[in-house]
Amino acid sequence: MKKRILLIEDSQSLASLYQSYLEAGGYMIVTVETGRDAIVQILREPPDVVLLDLKLPDMDGMDILKRIQQDDLPCTVIVMTAHGSIDIAVNAMQYGAFDFLVKPFDARRLQVTVKNALANNNLVKEVQGYREQFARRHYEGFIGESLPMQGVYRIIDCAAPSNATVFITGESGVGKEVCAEAIHNRSPRKPGPFVPLNCGAIPKDLMESEIFGHVKGAYTGALNNRDGAATQAHRGTLFLDEICEMDLELQTKLLRFIQTGTFQRVGGSQQETVDVRFVCATNRDPLQEVQAGRFREDLYYRLHVIPIYLPPLRERETDIKLLMESFLREYAKQENKRFTRFSPEAVNIMMAHNWPGNVRELQNVIRNIVVLNNDEAVTPDMIPFHAASRASSSPQRPSAPQFEQPLSAEPGQEDTPIKPLWLIEKEAIEQAIEHCGGNIPKAAAMLDVSASTIYRKKEKWEQEQAIT
Ligand SMILES: Nc1ncnc2c1ncn2[C@@H]1O[C@H](COP(=O)(O)OP(=O)(O)OP(=O)(O)O)[C@@H](O)[C@H]1O
Ligand SMILES: [Mg+2]
């Protein structure tokens, strides 16, 4: 496609001279004389390159430049100034101009500058495309820039436009529902309904009616005809959440529905046909459920067309930080609190936590901090799981920590001076922390390990202590 150049020059003779300079380049050149016409052109269809004379009859060329920058329009600007106004040209560069030409200039100078501007344009587009494709920090409802999440975004990109069934797995709170909605919102079904149905939350005998609906009088209490999720999701997406909780008998009916797109309401005799796309999710291991006989194998294979596994939060360290900061900003605003950041110690504690409840747990922790405190920075004492673990390991507690007594590993070895390695390590860490007045990052620096290593180990000891 021809590259488009907008030439903004109020002198007609200069405009035609520059146009003749650029003729050989095969560009599509539009010339305007006033700032007003220039803005109309730019907004109608941003050109690839704008050649901008800064002195215009109706406005300052700089205002056009500012407008292009403000609106983040994808055009590269070259300003043209009179001899002796280099400082203005430099100023223009600060407002995002790519280069400047001092009048009078020759054909060669103009051609090279325009060529460079176009090359720069391509590069910028390429980088933007690369960023969008490979390093997205936000994607639909997701926040996350880790490598595994980039993989998830790419699968959604590819899978969303098709009608293929998606099977989402992952621990509780990793974002399976966020994922299902992202698939719907990226699909051509977006204008249609997204209908989530939690197969684990509805009593078994009501489930069939929830999916397929019922006719009046189908059972006691069925006073009217009622649409089920299948009907509601027509031309949209049906999200079957916690699919492994579904009753085996109903699984058979679901299989038939998926295979044929047709079903019968409870108590009804007519076949209904709908057009739905299925997305399902579970936090169990579906294959294990199949092996245990709790999930129909044929249904499993019918649903398991495009699997998406959402990795637990503890395996996405870069996301923990991003999510923490984002939730802190969001909740501080909602709760009218001053919080803007985490202290470095607080960051270390959050990073070292295991997050068994994943993103949901992280949300709860931050909400708790924001509601119960008010400061600019989150400090360790505000973090609920940290405060609790400190209280439980305080010396006042009657049950003395098990590991604080020297242990004898094997009978008959009571008197040996040799201690297990883990105990030596634990004692060394505790000694260092005490020496540093409880400052874990300082102790970590002295031991030449990262603070998060110490937090992890402490957490493990506390867990082991809780078990015994
Ligand atoms: N990457 C993410 N970015 C922002 N918010 C997220 C992300 N992942 C999850 N959440 C939020 O965390 C909460 C839990 O997510 P969701 O309900 O999708 O998890 P789930 O995997 O379906 O959990 P469960 O198995 O318990 O049903 C929701 O409030 C969701 O908005
Ligand atoms: Mg869920």
Mean pLDDT of 59-77: 88
From 318, 326, 360, 367, give the residue whose CB has the most ligand 1 atoms within 8 Å, as the site to mutate. Answer: 360
Select, from the ranges 54-58, 201-205, 379-383, 420-424, the one with the highest average predicted confidence (pLDDT): 379-383
Confidence (pLDDT) at 399: 36
- Is 404's pLDDT higher than 60? no
* pLDDT for position 398: 37
Query: Which residue blocks in 168-263 are alpha helix, DSSP H?
Result: 176-185, 204-212, 229-232, 248-260
The atom number, within ligand 1, closest to the CA of 177 reads 18
pTM of the model: 0.62
Cα 340 to ligand 1 centroid, rounded to whole Å? 23
pLDDT at 410: 43
Ligand 2 centroid to 53 CA: how many Å? 58
For the segment 229-245, the average pLDDT, to the nearest whole number, is 96
Alpha helices in 95-162 (DSSP H): 107-134, 147-159
Q: Tell me what pLDDT residue 407 has.
A: 37
Res 28 pLDDT > 80: yes
Indicate whether 40 pLDDT > 80: yes
Q: What is the pLDDT of residue 401?
A: 30
pLDDT value for 220: 82
Residues 83, 102: contact at Cβ < 8 Å? Answer: yes
The lowest-confidence range among 1-5, 66-70, 348-352, 464-468 is 464-468
Number of the ligand 1 atom closest to the C-alpha atom of 174: 21
Report the 10 Å Cβ neighbour count for 75.
18
Q: What pLDDT is recorded for position 409?
A: 42
Q: Name the residue of 174, 318, 328, 331 whose CB sits within 8 Å of the most ligand 1 atoms, as the mutation to test its pocket.
A: 174
Alpha carbon of residue 262 to chain centroid: 36
Which pLDDT does position 464 carry in this prediction?
Answer: 76
Q: Which ligand is nearest to the CA of 177?
A: 1
pLDDT bracket for residue 133 (50, 70, 90): low
311 lines ligand 1 (CB under 6 A): no
**Percentage of residues in the chain with pLDDT exceeding 90?**
63
Closest ligand relative to 169 C-alpha = 1
DSSP three-state, residue 87? helix
3-state SS, residue 169: strand
Q: Whose CA is nearest to atom 12 of ligand 1?
A: 360
Q: How far apart are the first and last CA of the chain?
A: 72
Q: Is the pLDDT of residue 403 over 50?
A: no
Is the pLDDT assigned to residue 411 strictly greater than 60? no
What was the pLDDT predicted at 165? 96
Distance 370 CA to ligand 1 centre (A): 20
Is the Cβ atom of 198 under 6 angstroms away from ligand 1? no
Q: Which of 51-60, 374-383, 393-402 comes out lowest in average pLDDT?
A: 393-402
Ligand 1, atom 31, residue with closest C-alpha: 178
The lowest-confidence range among 114-128, 169-183, 232-246, 250-264 is 114-128
Q: What does residue 3 show for φ and ψ, rounded to 5 degrees?
A: -75, 140
Q: Side by side, which strands form the sheet with 4-8? A: 28-32, 4-8, 49-53, 76-82, 99-103
Q: Cβ(156)–Cβ(183) under 8 Å?
A: yes
Q: Give pLDDT, residue 400.
A: 32
225: Cβ below 6 Å to ligand 1?
no
Q: How confident is the model at residue 144 (pLDDT cuts 50, 70, 90)?
A: very high
Beta bridge partners, 266, equal: 214
Average pLDDT estimate for 379-395: 78
pLDDT at residue 23 greater than cutoff 80:
yes
Is any atom of ligand 1 closer than 6 Å to the C-beta of 312? no
Mean pLDDT for all residues in the chain: 88
pLDDT value of position 393: 62
Which one of 177, 239, 242 would you pick to mutate in the ligand 1 pocket, going by the greatest count of ligand atoms within 8 A of its CB?
Answer: 177
Structure tokens at 206: 């009501």
Measured between alpha carbons, how far is 371 from 352 in angstroms, rounded to an integer? 23
